[in-house]
Amino acid sequence: MNDVVDLQRQLRGAGYIAERPLAAALLLMLDLGRPLLLEGDAGVGKTEVAKALATVRGAKLIRLQCYEGLDVHAAMYEWNYQRQLLAIKLLERDERSVALKEQDIFSERYLLKRPLLEAISCSEPPVLLIDEVDRADEAFEAYLLELLSDFQMSIPELGTMHAVSRPLVVITSNGTRELSDALRRRCLYQYIDYPDTEKELAIVEIRAPEAAGMFARQLVEFVQNVRRMDLQKKPGIAETLDWTAALLRLGISAIDDDGAERILETLSALVKTRGDRAGFTREVVARIAATC
């Protein structure tokens, strides 16, 4: 248990409030060397886990943002062929044998390392964040699976690249596509929910210390109430922090009935679709503010 509390404290020092189960999962991930799959709604702080972990471990953070049509060249490696061509021209006068020239042209100097190759060729184990893996297609997922099982990558011209050190892999998913069972089974799993009042309060206190005591509690309760409403897009933690900044910027220091007008002006930081915004009239804001 001490290890868990320790890690929790370290994460806190890195600006991330983690619940104990998450800290325990991170420890297990370090022990077993398995990737960690994080799922949850957008804006609950999945990406932050990897950043905080990198800070705590003093490791480099390598991030691969997935998108539709992500291919091998963008994710793993590409030859720097412009430089290769230039080298060919320069080597034309060279007296060396063709084989040697070729070896030179296809050496690591001409290799552009993309995140995945970079991650397995670091001397110190980095944190590899594979963000929103559900946006990439199944073919890429299959490739990723191969990489995650033996941490090696084959480059036809160069041979097989073995991992110098095993990266700590954090994978996040928003669930826009069902991930394959094979990938899920290979990973440790953690579902991250919206934070409760106490956790969110702790986050606001650590990330926006200017918002003092009572005010911070009020605004967190306001956000918690907003989340309970029937919205198309619920505000995440990033929205809470944005909104806090907006309130502070406008010099609002208490959430109450009288300030409803001015709170209304800042809501663009919290509520982000037109339909949702239409639901926030002055009366609604005043009513929520009154309960905080």
Smallest separation (angstroms) from another protein to the CB of 204: 25
CA torsion, ordered 113, 117, 118, 124, to nearest 10 deg: -150
**Which CB, 90 or 123, lies closer to another protein?**
90
Measured from the CB of residue 25, what is the shortest distance to another protein in angstroms?
Answer: 4
CB closer to another protein out of 2 and 154: 2
| Cβ distance to another protein smaller for residue 109 or 162 | 109
Selected from 149, 197, 232, 281, the binder of another protein by CB under 8 A is 232
Task: Tell me the C-alpha distance between 286 and 133, whole Å.
Answer: 41
Task: In whole angstroms, give the CA distance from residue 256 to residue 77.
Answer: 55
184 binds another protein (CB under 8 A): yes
C-beta separation of 179 from 134 below 8 A:
yes
Q: Identify the residue among 4, 206, 252, 267 touching another protein (CB under 8 A).
A: 4
Q: Does 39 bind another protein (CB under 8 A)?
A: yes
**Integer-rounded Cα radius of gyration of the chain:** 24
At 259, is the secondary structure helix, strand, or coil? Answer: coil
Of 80, 112, 106, whose CA–CA distance to 91 is shortest?
106
| 275 CB burial (10 A radius; 0-12, 13-18, 19+) | exposed
Residue 107 contacts another protein per CB under 8 A? no
- Give contact residues for another protein (rule: CB under 8 A): 1, 4, 20-21, 24-25, 27-29, 31-32, 36-37, 39, 68-69, 71, 79, 81-82, 84-85, 88-89, 105, 137-138, 174-178, 181, 184-185, 187-191, 230, 232-233, 275
